[in-house]
Structure 1
């Protein structure tokens, strides 16, 4: 298996499970994962939020953990990475305002490197203008943004994932088993029994 170097774009109030689980799972299979946040350095932390589905019209939000960054955003050179992960939560709504974040996302899209986005993560893809002609899913409230960005919205169950070439998306953390498995397939990662 080729070890991949993966960049993860996060921010304060990233969804707790959607940052912690893929960060740990991708490392557990041998990949290198660098988690970065605009304006922050390695060793600093972002606060997370736990989003849950408790029967209300939308998700509930509770305080999560403090997640330690292991790389510095200003040092990121996207050409040094093999893939990109964008977790959801509230972070995507404001990190997409950072022009460098958008330039980084465009690099991965233009070079056809694997991209995994979950929940509200596709808000960053829409803002970067990389969804034109692509199909993806996300948290349902992001559907209108996907369509306005020229993407084809795909509705799937909350525990399912969708793949369009190098792009792997899912609605929310209940999809982790399938979303991470599909992303590993796109990465070319083989896990032998």
Structure 2
């Protein structure tokens, strides 16, 4: 649900959604409830980890972030997206990526942001420097180290509707950060 519903809603809004995996392009991933999704690209493909190509990064929960956080190129893409002031949206276990992806100064990407996530990783995001918020969706935009970073987090599939609405709104009308 955390992959398919955002994919369908964003496509419905006219976005081109590109599924990127840690395995070769064309790999089919099956979610917890059997929903299959096929990757269009691999993070190892030339140029995929360059933030200029993308308008936003959506990080689902489940097992995906456990694979993503072990990929140096996926961590690089996540950090580059933050540095380019492009929205990063993470749900459920997805905020683990915000703990593992690090800025040039070595701080976790979630440091200095308000974040929510699945309750089992609450301590992880707090220990990585985030301020925990128990809300359906949290939009955190901040200037950190001279860069504007925009992070949208959510707790569980029950929060998909407001989380996806926040992503759509941010891509359609980027935030102005003073």
The TM-score normalised by the length of structure 2 is 0.83
**C-alpha RMSD over aligned residues:** 1.3
Alignment of 1:25-64 (within 5 A): 25-41=9-25, 43-50=26-33, 64=34
Residue number in structure 2 paired with 1:65 = 35
Matched, 1:164 2:147: no
Alignment of 1:113-132 (within 5 A): 113-128=86-101, 129-132=108-111
> Number of aligned pairs?
156
Matched, 1:142 2:121: yes
Residue number in structure 2 paired with 1:85 = 58
**Alpha-carbon distance in 2 for matches of 1:31, 1:44:** 22
**Alpha-carbon distance in 1 for matches of 2:15, 2:27:** 22
**Alpha-carbon distance in 2 for matches of 1:188, 1:29:** 10
Compare the two structures and name the one with the higher strand fraction.
Answer: 1
Residue number in structure 1 paired with 2:166 = 182
Q: Find the residue that maps to 1:18 and give its secondary structure.
A: coil
Q: 1:187 to 1:162 in 2, by over 3 A?
A: same
Residue number in structure 1 paired with 2:176 = none
Between 179-188 and 133-142, the greater mean CA deviation after superposition? 179-188
2:44 and 2:73 in contact (8 A); partners too: no
2:56 and 2:81 in contact (8 A); partners too: yes
2:43 and 2:74 in contact (8 A); partners too: no
Q: Find the residue that maps to 2:17 and give its secondary structure.
A: strand
Q: Find the residue that maps to 1:184 and give its secondary structure.
A: helix
Which residues of structure 1 form unaligned runs of 5+? 1-16, 51-63
Residue number in structure 2 paired with 1:103 = 76
Residue number in structure 2 paired with 1:8 = none
How far the C-alpha of 1:115 sits from its partner, in A, is: 1.0
Which residues of structure 2 form unaligned runs of 5+? 102-107, 142-149, 174-178
The TM-score normalised by the length of structure 1 is 0.77
How far the C-alpha of 1:155 sits from its partner, in A, is: 1.0
